Amino acid sequence: MDATLVHHHQRTLELDGDFSPLADLRRAYHRHCWDDDFQKNGRGVFARHNAAVRAAGRGRPFLEVEVASGWQPLCDFLGVAVPNVPFPRKDDWAQYKKEVEAEEVKLKEDAPSQ
């Protein structure tokens, strides 16, 4: 979270003031979820959320899985075949870092000469 979602939020604010149509929603989300301080409050927020989800799942079929495990645990739980497509990894930090680096290069290229 810190290396992707939170970083993106902070970086967007720093780069352009965050004038996207979702800016107000994004700011409200970060303020509501962890009082704009993920480092201080993020782990507690996730621990409480996960505890609430586990409590709600008691007595029912329930799957708790690490996304790094890929399709197999999810497909086994659902009783379906593993799809013949890669497991989605939009939160992949390494890919996000590549995108940020490419964007930084583009910003430097597009910057007016002084």
Instruction: Print the domain residue range for 48.
Output: 1-60
CA distance 106 to 37: 29
Residues 19 and 40 in one domain: yes
Neighbours of 30 (CB within 10 A): 19
Residues 52 and 101 in one domain: no
CA distance 28 to 18: 13
Residues 42 and 86 in one domain: no
Domain count, the chain: 2
pLDDT of residue 50: 93
CA distance 45 to 66: 18
Residues 4 and 54 in one domain: yes
- Encode the chain (114 residues) as per-residue pLDDT tens digits: 777 777 777 777 766 666 677 778 878 888 898 888 888 998 899 899 999 999 999 999 989 988 889 999 999 999 999 999 999 876 666 777 787 788 777 777 777 765
Is pTM beyond 0.85? Reply is no
